[in-house]
């Protein structure tokens, strides 16, 4: 199957827009994420028929209806299972899995864990709005402690899941975060995720205007983001602030915010190394949260060279075929079966 487009058939965003009415609440962050994905895919040099979008259940999981590609809207939490089957059956396909903090980290948490550890060569976009939006405002696995919702009227007592720490703990080889309010950063992040060989996990901070409005405002609002966002760039020191006058250094094993000047220079700061095979560095970044620390966005981890699940499985099948025809009936019955007569 071809994996490149021709000069006579250059794709544009319009090629990935469907005639279906997009039905999310006015102002939902999903609109900008959809726009970013539709802008990203034409620039990847892949024929349109080679894209597949897979989703589970939730507001985010309407995605396949709004992408003019092949797609599957699966059942709650099981998108990783279907995505695995698609990629194994046809490794040439570019598979994009869309899920939410409820679909992916609650009922689908076990499925997502195994997808990540297997290193299937697909791209996973997890929309995190810290709420169950489709079912009208119950607390989700990422809701903060004390969150009052229809299912927690006195406030949630659950400690929330950190999606990035979850992905790192599952040994994901590519872990990143981006924002629904930053189109340029989303497109750059999605391109980097697709280029990675292996499972790419991208958390997207996404606003639910109806049931959890402004949940990330303390980080993403125009008046705050200069001081509250740490934009990660490979090979560069961890510098942030409106005046780029603050940085992150290590004090033992703990990150520490320092002000540049008065004997502190960029040479004293941590340098961003997403290729570090030790997950400790990326985990330090993932655990930096508001208000104690700036919130990192960008690629936290990108580990190259690990064999993908689809490659390993296809090679195993080829090796088996090279040894001649098998005996399916003999495999099923084997030496541990018996016949009951009478």
CB count, 10 Å around CB of 145? 10
Using the 8-state DSSP alphabet, how is residue 140 labeled?
-
Domains and CATH numbers, the chain: 7-232+274-311 (3.40.50.970), 237-271 (no CATH)
* Parts of the chain with a pLDDT under 70: 1-8
Spatial neighbors of 219 by CB under 8 A, at least 6 apart, are 205, 225, 228, 229, 290, 295
Q: Extract the runs of DSSP E, i.e. beta strands, from the chain.
A: 51-55, 70-73, 94-100, 123-128, 174-179, 200-205, 229-231, 239-240, 246-251, 254-259, 295-302
Tell me which H or E stretch contains 39.
helix 30-40
Sign of CA dihedral 213, 219, 224, 225: negative
pLDDT tens string 264-305: 999 999 999 999 999 999 999 999 999 999 999 999 999 999
Q: How far apart are CA 267 and CA 103, in angstroms?
A: 42
**How many Å apart are CA 38 and CA 71, to the nearest integer?**
14
Segment 181-218, tens digit of pLDDT? 999 999 999 999 999 999 999 999 999 999 999 999 99
Q: What is the structure's pLDDT at 327?
A: 83
How many helices (H) and strands (E) would you count in the chain? Answer: 11, 11
Pairing state between β 70-73 and 51-55: parallel
Query: What's the pTM value of the predicted model, to 2 decimals?
Result: 0.93
pLDDT, residue 1, reads 44
């Amino acid at each position: 199957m071809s994996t490149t487009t021709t000069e006579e058939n250059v794709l544009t965003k319009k090629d990935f827009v469907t005639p279906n009415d997009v039905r999310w609440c006015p102002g939902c962050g999903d609109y900008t994420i959809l726009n970013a994905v539709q802008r990203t895919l034409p620039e990847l040099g892949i024929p349109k028929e080679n894209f597949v979008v897979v989703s589970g259940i939730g507001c985010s999981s309407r995605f396949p209806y709004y992408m003019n590609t092949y797609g599957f809207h699966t059942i709650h939490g099981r998108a990783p299972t279907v995505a695995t089957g698609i990629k194994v059956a046809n490794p040439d396909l570019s598979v994009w899995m869309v899920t939410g903090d409820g679909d992916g980290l609650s009922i689908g948490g076990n499925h997502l864990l195994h997808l990540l550890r297997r290193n299937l060569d697909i791209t996973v976009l997890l929309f995190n709005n810290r709420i169950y939006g489709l079912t009208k405002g119950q607390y989700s696995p990422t809701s903060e402690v004390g969150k009052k919702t229809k299912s927690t009227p006195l406030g949630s007592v659950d400690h929330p899941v950190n999606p990035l720490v979850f992905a790192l703990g599952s040994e994901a080889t590519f872990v990143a975060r981006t924002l629904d309010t930053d189109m340029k950063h989303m497109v750059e992040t999605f391109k980097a995720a697709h280029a990675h060989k292996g499972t790419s996990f991208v958390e997207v901070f996404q606003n639910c205007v109806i049931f959890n409005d402004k949940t990330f405002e303390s980080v993403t609002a125009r008046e705050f983001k200069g001081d509250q966002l740490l934009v990660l760039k490979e090979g560069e020191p961890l510098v942030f602030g409106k005046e780029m006058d603050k940085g992150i250094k290590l004090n033992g094993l703990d990150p520490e915010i320092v002000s540049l000047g008065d004997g502190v220079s960029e040479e004293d700061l941590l340098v961003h190394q997403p290729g570090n095979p030790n997950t400790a560095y990326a985990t330090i970044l993932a655990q930096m949260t508001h208000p104690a620390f700036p919130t990192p966005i960008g690629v936290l981890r990108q580990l190259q060279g690990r064999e993908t699940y689809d490659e390993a499985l296809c090679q195993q099948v080829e090796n088996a075929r090279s040894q001649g025809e098998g005996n399916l009936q003999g495999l099923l019955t084997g030496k541990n079966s018996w016949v009951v007569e009478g």
